[in-house]
């Protein structure tokens, strides 16, 4: 504890780019991630925010939590808006209309805004090679509109549009592998992160800001409201997602995979699922089917990393 008091302030800047007083639910993992990620971004940044929980909870006229320049326009166009901001600043600096300096552009969006409705705009912006960081806050559903499924919702989870019932086990499809889609765009930096591992997450944000070109980070963001779990489990559930292999932490630098931490022996999936109402209806058979898939996916990524793990 003494050590933490000494080191923590050095590791995490005190200044808040994202101020308290917003309307997020108690225990919101997404807002925790936003707060820490913006600390890692520093002051020389313009944030472009998609419609979704993070926009709605923090920007009700006449208030805002944002202490850095921030723009929200629509749900599905965040990457395109970010590419406009980046290009505008670049052109004006080149033409001497504003001082030459390093200004980063960070687009932030939910999983729905990223994997579903905004995928085309994101693909375009990544392909064109704009220098910007895109963060997807992945809480595995459309939370802002009342917990509807997205293509990031895990198999078997109940949402309001993938309810379990006599003819349904909940979400019918497997989670879309968005980081792989980002990697397929040959961008210099892709990573997964989780605020339960704050230093890892912030390091990745800093790293992403410094690459020349697009970078993509998918941040696992526990949503107690949508997942029907206790608000004080947020950090623990994030850890369990990593420890069970549900959400592996890794980086892909210039196409090269690297595990961010080693999980020598994955914990049983049920350690993770049993704490959440969204999985409560699942039978042991379905759970083991899901677990098999989780392990398979985990090993796939580990194989890509070739056993390489960060120090």
Partner 1 sequence: MTKRVGMEVSIAVAEMVKMADVDVVAVYPITPQTHIVEHLAELVADGELDAEYIPVESEHSAMSACLGSSAAGARTFTATASQGLELMHEVLYVASGMRLPIVMTVANRALSAPLSIWGDHSDVMAVRDTGWIQIFNENGQDVIDNTICAFRIAEHRDVLLPVMVHMDGFHLSHVIEPMFFPEEAQVKAFIPPNNYPLPLHPSKPVAMGDFAPPFIYTEARWAQEENLRKSKETILAVWDAFAKEFGRQYKPVESYRTEGAKTLLFTMGSFSETAMTAIDKLRDEGLNVGLVRLRLWRPFPFEELREAVKGAETLIVLDRALSTGGPGGPVCSEIRSALYNENPRPKIVSFVGGLGGRDITIAGFEEIVKRGMALAVKGSGKEFEIFGVRE
Ligand X SMILES: Cc1ncc(C[n+]2csc(CCOP(=O)(O)OP(=O)(O)O)c2C)c(N)n1
Tell me the window of 56-64, 162-170, 183-191, 290-298 that interacts with partner 1 (CB under 8 A): 56-64
53 interacts with ligand X by CB under 6 A: yes
Q: Residue 24 binds which entry of ligand X, ligand SF4, partner 1, none, with Cβ cut-offs from 5 to 8 Å by kind? A: ligand SF4
- The verdict on 157 binding ligand SF4 (CB under 6 A) reads no
112 binds ligand X (CB under 6 A): yes
Residue 273 class from Cβ within 10 Å (0-12 exposed, 13-18 middle, 19+ buried)? buried
CA 165 to chain centre: 30
CB of 109 to ligand X, least distance (A): 6
- Please work out, in degrees rounded to the nearest 5, the angle formed at the alpha carbon of residue 32 by the alpha carbons of 27 and 34: 140
- The answer to whether residue 154 forms part of the interface with ligand X (CB under 6 A) is no
Is the CB of residue 200 less than 8 Å from the CB of residue 175?
no
Does 154 bind ligand SF4 (CB under 6 A)? Our answer is no
Out of 24, 109, 115, 121, the only residue in the binding site for partner 1 (CB under 8 A) is 121
198 Cβ contact partners less than 8 Å away, ≥ 6 residues apart? 12, 36
Q: Hey, what long-range contacts does 297-304 have (CB within 8 A, 24 or more apart)?
A: 297/177, 297/245, 297/248, 298/245, 298/248, 298/263, 298/266, 301/248, 301/250, 301/257, 301/259, 302/248, 302/259, 304/257
Identify what 64 binds: ligand X, ligand SF4, partner 1, none; CB under 5 to 8 Å per kind. partner 1
Contact between 45 and partner 1 per CB under 8 A: yes
User: What CA–CA distance (Å, rounded) separates 223 from 25?
Assistant: 9
Residue 110 touches ligand X, criterion: CB under 6 A = yes
- Contact window for partner 1 (CB under 8 A) among 78-86, 175-183, 185-193, 209-217: 78-86
In whole angstroms, the minimum distance from the beta carbon of 174 to partner 1 comes to 26
111 contacts which partner out of partner 1, ligand SF4, Mg ion, none, CB within 5 to 8 A by kind?
A: Mg ion
Residue 112 binds ligand SF4, judged by CB under 6 A = no
Residue 181 found at the interface with partner 1 (CB under 8 A)? no
Angle between helices 29-41 and 198-210 (to 10 degrees): 50
Stretch that binds ligand SF4, among 69-77, 173-181, 190-198, 222-230 (CB under 6 A): 222-230
Q: How far is CA 113 from CA 122, 135, 208, 235, in A?
A: 10, 11, 20, 24
Contact present, 238 and 195 (Cβ < 8 Å): yes
Contact between 217 and ligand X by CB under 6 A: the answer reads no
**Which residues sit at the interface with partner 1, rule CB under 8 A?**
43-46, 48-49, 55-56, 59-62, 64, 66-74, 76-77, 79-92, 94-95, 97-98, 103, 120-121, 123-125, 127-128
**Which residues sit at the interface with ligand X, rule CB under 6 A?**
30, 51-54, 75-76, 109-113, 137, 139, 142-145, 150
């Amino acid at each position: 504890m003494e050590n933490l008091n000494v080191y923590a302030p050095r590791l995490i800047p005190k200044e808040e780019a994202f101020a308290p007083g917003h309307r997020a639910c108690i225990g919101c993992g997404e807002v925790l991630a936003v707060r820490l990620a913006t600390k890692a971004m520093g002051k020389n940044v313009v944030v472009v925010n998609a419609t979704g929980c993070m926009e709605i909870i923090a920007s009700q006229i006449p208030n805002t939590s944002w202490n850095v320049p921030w723009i929200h326009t629509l749900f599905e166009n965040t990457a395109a808006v970010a590419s406009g901001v980046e290009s505008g600043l670049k052109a004006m600096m080149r033409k001497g209309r504003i001082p030459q300096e390093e200004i980063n552009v960070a687009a932030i969006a939910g999983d729905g805004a990223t994997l579903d409705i905004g995928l085309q705009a994101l693909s375009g912006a990544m392909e064109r090679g704009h220098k910007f960081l895109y963060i997807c806050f992945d809480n595995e559903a459309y939370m802002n509109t009342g917990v509807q499924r997205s293509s990031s919702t895990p198999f078997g989870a109940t949402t309001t549009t993938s309810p379990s019932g006599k003819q349904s086990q909940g979400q019918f499809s497997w989670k879309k592998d968005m980081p792989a889609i980002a990697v397929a765009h040959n961008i210099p930096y892709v990573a997964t992160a989780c605020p339960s591992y704050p230093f890892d997450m912030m390091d990745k944000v800093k790293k992403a800001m410094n690459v020349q070109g697009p970078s993509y980070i998918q941040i696992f963001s526990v949503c107690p409201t949508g997942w029907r779990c206790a608000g004080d489990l947020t950090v623990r559930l994030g850890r369990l997602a990593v420890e069970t292999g549900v959400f592996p932490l890794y980086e892909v630098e210039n196409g090269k995979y690297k595990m961010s931490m080693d999980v020598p022996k994955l914990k049983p999936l049920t350690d993770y699922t049993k704490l959440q109402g969204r999985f409560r209806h699942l039978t042991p058979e379905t759970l083991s089917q899901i677990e098999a898939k989780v392990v398979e996916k985990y090993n796939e990524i580990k194989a890509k990393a070739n056993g390489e793990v960060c120090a």
